[in-house]
Amino acid sequence: MESVASVEAMSSRRNAWLCHTESVKPLMIAGAILTAFGIVSLAVSEFQYTRREKVPHDGSAQLTVKHESIISIPPAVAGLALAGGIVLMIVAARE
């Protein structure tokens, strides 16, 4: 009888631990993503990308227009993302 009770107790502790880790995991993931975004944004303050668009044209030739865009992320936003990510990971580790 004692072994059945101890197995049930271990099972309930294991289930409580599993439920606890499921609630921590999203916070840890969100913190890691924010931290990575903050580090990359501090290292590279501007992201440049090119978009190609086909333009209708009379005749047999096709025209392609390149649109270059630059996205700049202010250092304050990058720093806040980094700090927020670290805080989220610390909170997730304590729970």
- Of the candidates 16, 38, 15, 22, the one whose C-alpha atom is nearest the C-alpha of residue 87 is 38
| Domains of the chain, residue spans | 2-94
pLDDT, average across residues 5-28: 59
> What pTM does this model have?
0.59
pLDDT digits (tens, 9 = 90+) for 17-44: 555 555 557 889 999 999 999 999 999 9
- Is it the case that residue 74 has pLDDT exceeding 90? yes
Residues 6+ apart with CB under 8 A from 83: 38
Question: Residue 31, exposed/middle/buried by CB under 10 A (0-12, 13-18, 19+)?
Answer: buried
Q: Which residue has the higher pLDDT, 2 or 50?
A: 50
Percent share of the chain, pLDDT over 90: 46
